[in-house]
Amino acid sequence: MSKNDSEYLNNLRHSCAHLLAKAVKDLWPGTHNAIGPAIENGFYQDFDFGDRKISDADLPEIEEKMRIILKTWEHFDYKEVTLKDAKKLFSDNPYKLELAEEFAKGGKKLLTNNPGNFLDLCKMTHVENPKKEMQHFKLLKLAGAYWRGNEKNKMLTRIYGTCFPAKEELDKYLWQQEEAKKRDHKKLGKELSLFIFSNSVGPGLPLFMPKGMIIRRVIENYLVKLKESYGHHFVWTPHIARSELYKQSKHWQKYEAMMPPLKLEDEEYTLKPMNCPHHFQIYLANPRSYRDLPLRLAENTTVYRYEKSGVINGLFRVRSVTQDDSHWFIPHNLIPSEIDHAIKLTKQIYEDFGLSKFHARISIRDKKNPDKYLGELKVWESAEKELAKAVSEKNIPYSLGEGEAAFYGPKIDFMVEDSLGREWQLTTIQLDFNQPENFDLTYTDEKGEKKRPAVLHIAILGSIERFLGILIEHYGGAFPTWLAPVQAIVLPISDKHKDYAHRIYNQLTEVNLRIEEDNRNETLGSKIRTAELQKIPYVIIVGDKEIKESTISTRRRHEKQDLGQMRIKNFIFMIQKAIDNKTNN
């Protein structure tokens, strides 16, 4: 098995969680280890320390103990035991006893493993040569966690760590983590006055400041213009609907993030969690012919989802989700060309936002649990083949994500790589044969016969809030000029230069550039530092020489040397070229 395989990495990291448990129990006898699974990019182990308190300051000592123990670990020995045996072996650990009884009740085998000096109860597999394979690990942080995730249970101490097959991979990951802290969108969002959260409004409900709203508006206007050039028709739908609409679509029965219902005149309504049922009503408003298809309806609108408080995370996971949503109603014979059309649109948007590295994941149904999905097996098989064919013909690398499809259809998810090498899931292109059945969507074909269209559900950015959070971290807050809320700032050297500076400011705003001027009674160096902290792309400086020669002096962000003096018309040409070309300046 390749050391890059997710299965191998899970085994490696889970094995390291055992090593962590052994080190902690040696350092603090009487400590109980609970569970220690592999997670994305690492692992954790939960502990009950009793009355003891540990902190992040203890992590180096634990790491050192782990390295000493690892030298003695040759391989894991496995043994199947009875419940009676398990109760005897782990009589001092209430967490292992609870797990043993649960496994036995569910008909699962009870397995122990032992790398030589640490017997544990575990159902996962591990690496074959611990001493050799587990050398490159790092403990990251501590957190609190309720046993089994239930707040009625005892609070345990959770220690997070990571492990990689090679030192270079570990070093890269740790560098990413440090850089990510500097680029944290929550931190930069506050420093750059982009958005806030208010306890009075509620968790997961961001409020966008003027500068943040400028970026949102630029993104949304860009999407409208581009999508219209790709044949989209924009619509508007309300933010609530009768609950019956979502019962008809089966979201009510299947979708866990539905908002609680509300009463209006004794009827049950809900905040909309998605737009497709609304767009279906627009399709049904008129009889449709094959001449009307494909019909591409689009809307940039906010939907509402009941995300639990424990998973809310800045702009990445919110309860008010603005989607760049579209639904394409298409005859079945046009499915390949329309998917190709959607992929072409997606690639152009990624290119414009500076996200050039991406791959696809085809999310298909869980074949072992067919009851989770709507529709017939042959319909699903057809849809899954169409998506895989479309991606492969575009020479886009892809993988299969079994069990990750929505309940009414398979989908293509596009995973993009940011400037730190992290992957983010963005675009979803979902092929749906089931909702047209639920809503009795039809059109008349060339022979005058009624046919059922397919529907493509497409969100290229997904959530605009989440996408903005990704962009903040991708660019470290230093947005390219076309996206930057402030594209240039005018700095007079002293008070006597303010009038000229203001004339420059007016000339630039007249050509629709987003300009500020800094007239504070501060030194020029202080003003420049402020502009740098605000990550403004261009700084314009005016003093005696500039007034005398009717010029400006300009410096560009990230460049130590000034661009020098230039005529204002030359600056306008330069900055507009950067905006039009969407260059990363």
Annotated active-site residue in 457, 466, 474, 555: 457
Q: Is 276 a catalytic residue?
A: yes
Please answer whether residues 405 and 364 qualify as being in contact, where contact means their C-beta atoms are separated by less than 8 angstroms: yes
Annotated active-site residue in 16, 122, 163, 276: 276
> Which residue do the tokens 């400011």 mark?
505
Contact partners, residue 89, CB within 8 Å, separation at least 6: 81, 112, 119, 121
Q: Is 411 a catalytic residue?
A: yes
Quote the tokens at residue 368: 């072992």
Please answer whether residues 75 and 115 qualify as being in contact, where contact means their C-beta atoms are separated by less than 8 angstroms: yes
Q: Is 32 a catalytic residue?
A: no
> Which residue do the tokens 């997606």 mark?
346
Comparing C-alpha atoms, which of 366, 374, 404 is closest to residue 248?
374
Look at residue 382 and give its three-state secondary structure: helix
Q: Is 325 a catalytic residue?
A: yes
Annotated active-site residue in 361, 411, 535, 557: 411
| Helix residue ranges, H only, 79-191 | 83-89, 94-105, 130-133, 167-183, 185-191
Annotated active-site residue in 323, 430, 435, 534: 323
Q: Is 56 a catalytic residue?
A: no
Please answer whether residues 357 and 350 qualify as being in contact, where contact means their C-beta atoms are separated by less than 8 angstroms: no
Q: Is 305 a catalytic residue?
A: yes
Q: What angle do CA 516, 522, 525 make, to 5 degrees?
A: 85
Q: Is 558 a catalytic residue?
A: no
DSSP state of 205: -
Quote the tokens at residue 321: 């989700």
Find the length of the chain.
585
Contact partners, residue 538, CB within 8 Å, separation at least 6: 481, 487, 488, 489, 554, 555, 556, 557, 571, 575
Annotated active-site residue in 278, 305, 361, 555: 305
Quote the tokens at residue 229: 């050039």
Active-site residue numbers?
A: 276, 305, 323, 325, 327, 411, 457
